[in-house]
Amino acid sequence: MVNNVLTLRELPNPSDLKEKLDAQGWLIIRDEVCSVEQFEQVSKLWFSQFHTSATRHDRNQSSPDGLSLQVRSSGHLLAHAEGYYRPCLPPPDVGLLWCKTAPQGAGGETSLFDGAAFFDALPTAIAERLEKEKVIYELSWPKDRCNLEFSTSSVKRLVKMFEVNKSISFNFNIDEHLHLHYHAKAVTEDTLGRRRFINGFLAHLPLVTHPSYAGNVFTRPHNGVYWQDMSPWDSIDIDPIIDAHDHVMQRHRWQEGDLLIINNHTHLHGRVALAAPEAREIFSRFAYWSHGEV
């Protein structure tokens, strides 16, 4: 049995943390982080480069350095790896989530998914198709969102960046609203040939009708997810993937002060809906291993 609860003393350096995350995918540090400020300080023991989340930019008011954001609490959020939907920029390597207020009633867990187990649980026909084909994210972002995603307000610069990327087709309308299709793999393969379902597709769906989630799950009507031939993912594709999702899901039941650290390239994360409205305060930040640091 892997011990996922560790102490800060056991992880003094980036290399210690990386070794653990490579081996077991996620871990918990319990009762050692008491505030958002301390959460930020502790994360800087291991990381100097952080990912900025454009979608949660309006919720960074509680964070001194602006990089820890309070996550949403309402509804389910299906499994995803952070930042995989965005072309041109690398997704973060590690997710860090810290609990200020733990929910007391049912639900509210952060869900965790071993991407390899997820891939193995997929129906064979879908797994084989995902191995062979790319899947397409459709994005429709107004100018402000686009600026935040790519940290630039220059459409010229974005056009230059997108034009050389063969995975993208795009256009900007007169208001500089971006409409983009990004062809990406849903399955990764490591040096040992282990395949993992690692991507952001389930958190990018325009609609979910699976009976366990319909009406209480994060979706974005302006997004789209398509097979390589541009046929949209519909419930015939999505529901069996969600069945596999539910089969491999682990739930982290939060305790106040927990720090959860996740390998973003091997494990997906999500959220289980609260059974009834109540306080749930979780802060997240996402980081990169810097070259030379590990």
Q: Residues in the site for Fe ion, rule: CB under 5 A?
A: 82
Minimum CB distance to Fe ion smaller for 195 or for 269: 269
CB closer to Fe ion, 82 vs 237: 82
Residue number, 49 or 231, with CB nearest to Fe ion? 49
Nearest residue to Fe ion, by Cβ distance, number only: 82
Question: Quick one: 195 or 204, whose CB is closer to Fe ion?
Answer: 204
Query: Mapping DSSP to helix (H, G, I), strand (E, B) and coil, where does residue 232 land?
Result: strand
Residue 265 token pair:
């390239």
CA distances (Å), 189 to each of 122, 131, 194, 197, in order?
16, 9, 5, 9
- Minimum separation from the CB atom of position 79 to Fe ion (A): 9
Taking the complex as a whole, how short is the minimal distance between the CB of residue 123 and Fe ion, in angstroms? Answer: 25
One-letter amino acid for residue 155 of the chain? V
Least spacing, CB of residue 82 vs Fe ion, in Å? 5
Closer to Fe ion by CB, 108 or 158: give it.
Answer: 108
**Minimum CB–partner distance for residue 252 and Fe ion (Å):** 13
- Least distance CB 222 / Fe ion (angstroms): 19
Q: Which is nearer to Fe ion, 98 or 162 (CB)?
A: 98
Nearer to Fe ion, 20 or 267 (CB): 267
Chain centre to alpha carbon of residue 216: 19
**Shortest distance (Å) from residue 269 CB to Fe ion:** 6
Contacts (Cβ under 8 Å, ≥6 apart) of 123: 240, 244
- Going from the C-alpha of 242 to that of each of 93, 131, 172, 194, 280, the distances in angstroms are 24, 18, 33, 21, 25
* Residue whose CB is less far from Fe ion, 57 or 143: 57
Closest contact distance (angstroms) between CB of 196 and Fe ion is 17
| CB-neighbour burial class of residue 90 (10 A; exposed 0-12, middle 13-18, buried 19+) | exposed
Cβ contacts of residue 224 below 8 Å, gap of 6+? 136, 137, 138, 206, 232
148 neighbors 53 (Cβ within 8 angstroms): no
What does the DSSP assignment read for 93-134? SEEEEEEEE---SS--PEEEEEHHHHHHHS-HHHHHHHHHS-
Q: For residues 7 and 29, is the Cβ–Cβ distance under 8 A?
A: yes
Q: How far is the CB of 66 from Fe ion (least distance, A)?
A: 18
Strand partners of residue 181: 138, 169
